[in-house]
Structures are given as structure tokens and as C-alpha cells.
Amino acid sequence: MQAVALAHASRLINHGPTVLVGSAHGGRRNLMAAAWSMPVEFMPPRVVVVIDKSTFTRGLVTASGHFSLSVPGRALADVVYTLGSESGADVDKFERLGLEVEAGPALGLPLLRGCAAHLECRLIEEPHAQAAYDCFFGEVVSAQADERIFTGGRWLPPTAANADLHTLHHLGAGLFGVASEAVQARQLP
Ligand SMILES: Cc1cc2nc3c(=O)[nH]c(=O)nc-3n(C[C@H](O)[C@H](O)[C@H](O)COP(=O)(O)O)c2cc1C
């Protein structure tokens, strides 16, 4: 993984990939899947993710004031679906699934190995948005990406060589579309 300039951090989730929300507090750590996240500001880079009241993640994020967003690729589809189908309240998902994680460089959050990109975020307290809409805003404080798929501040065209990192887009019920083709648009004259 290579560090990504914070000015380019929004690009890592600009295309609406399913992400993993990482959290840790008081000796507990967790990962859950989230289809609903997006950037909301370029600089300073800010994001929002929906974290339902029923999730174990929510308590960890609220208590710590931190969360991470990781961008998994197609090789991790089964892991993503499983992380979104069981709760860290009931099971240590890291142990059960044998997940390899690294500590994030800024906040030490759990970042799953094999993802295309990672963001670490400081929670921006918005009590009304959290309570009413389950929306958690964060300011990105570290960004990293696998240089096989994102380098120089840009996504590279998806190819067979980086197929394991092609991002996942949830269609529902565990069915994902995969971003495997890019189209370079030109402004019409
Ligand atoms: C593909 C997928 C996308 C999901 N997207 C979201 C989401 O955007 N927000 C959310 O709160 N839950 C979402 N979920 C559900 C959570 O991941 C699920 O409730 C999970 O078990 C919570 O884990 P936790 O209790 O360990 O935090 C999604 C699940 C899947 C499988």
C-alpha cells in the first residue's frame, strides 16, 4: 500500500464501492460491510457512512470517535458478505474468518489486508444526523491505496493484472457488480 495525498482521498470512494467499516475501542475491534458511503468534501476530505443502530460497529465508533473505510475488491466478496451478515457482538469476526489486518498509520484502526484502499477518519460529531438518519460524518486523516489499481491520485483502468482489486458494488442479497471496465469520457464539442 502507498500513501495517498489527502487531496485525492475522496476519489477512493467516489465511485460508490461497498466498503468495510473498521472500528476499535476498549480492546474490542470490528469490521462490517457498508454499501452506503460517499465523499462529501474534497479538502479537508470528509465522508459519510450509514451505520445502523443495530450494529456492534456503531457503539465502537461512537465511543472511540474514529472509523476506517476500506475498499475491498472482488477477491474478498465472500468475506465482505460474511462481515455484513454477522455481528461482532456475537463473534470475533477476525478470529472466526482468520482475517489478516494491519493497524492504520494515523489512528491504529483495523485495516483488512488485500483491499484496494483504506481511509482512516475522525468522527465529526453530528448528533442529529446520527440519531435521525444513522449518518456518521468523518474527516479523513490517512489514505492508502494499492498501487496496482490506484496511483498518482488516480484509479488505473481495470485489467486482468489487477482483477482481484476490482471494486464491489452491491446489487442486493449478496449479489455484487464488479467494476471491471473503464470508459474514458470526452466532453462533446
Ligand atoms: C453488502 C452489504 C452492505 C451493507 N451496507 C450497510 C450499510 O451501508 N449500513 C449499515 O448500517 N449496514 C449495512 N449492512 C449490514 C451490516 O454490515 C450488518 O448489520 C453487520 O452484521 C453489522 O456488523 P456489526 O454488528 O459487527 O457491526 C450491509 C450488509 C451487507 C452484506
pLDDT tens string 132-188: 999 999 999 999 999 999 999 999 999 999 999 999 999 999 999 999 999 999 999
Buried b or exposed e, range 136-148, using 16+ CB within 10 angstroms: bbbbbbbbbbbee
As given in the structure block, the three cell numbers for residue 148 are 496496482
In this structure, is the dihedral angle defined by the CA atoms of residues 143, 149, 153 and 155, taken in order, positive or negative? Answer: negative
Q: Which atom of ligand 1 is least distant from the CA of 60?
A: 27
pLDDT, tens digit (0-9, with 9 covering 90-100), for 74-91 = 999 999 999 999 999 999
- For ligand 1, the distance from its centroid to the CA atom of residue 132, given in whole angstroms, is 18
Among the listed residues 44, 59, 41, 32, the one whose alpha carbon sits nearest the alpha carbon of residue 6: 44
pTM of the model: 0.98
CATH T-level fold of 2-178: Pnp Oxidase; Chain A (2.30.110)
Record the cell numbers describing residue 159, joined without a space.
485489467
**Ligand 1 contacts CB of residue 61 (under 6 A):** no
State the residue for C-alpha cell 475501542. Answer: 25
Other beta carbons within 10 Å of 100: 10
Distance (Å, rounded) from C-alpha 189 to C-alpha 186? 9
CA of 35 to the centre of ligand 1 (A): 8
Hey, what amino acid is at 36? W
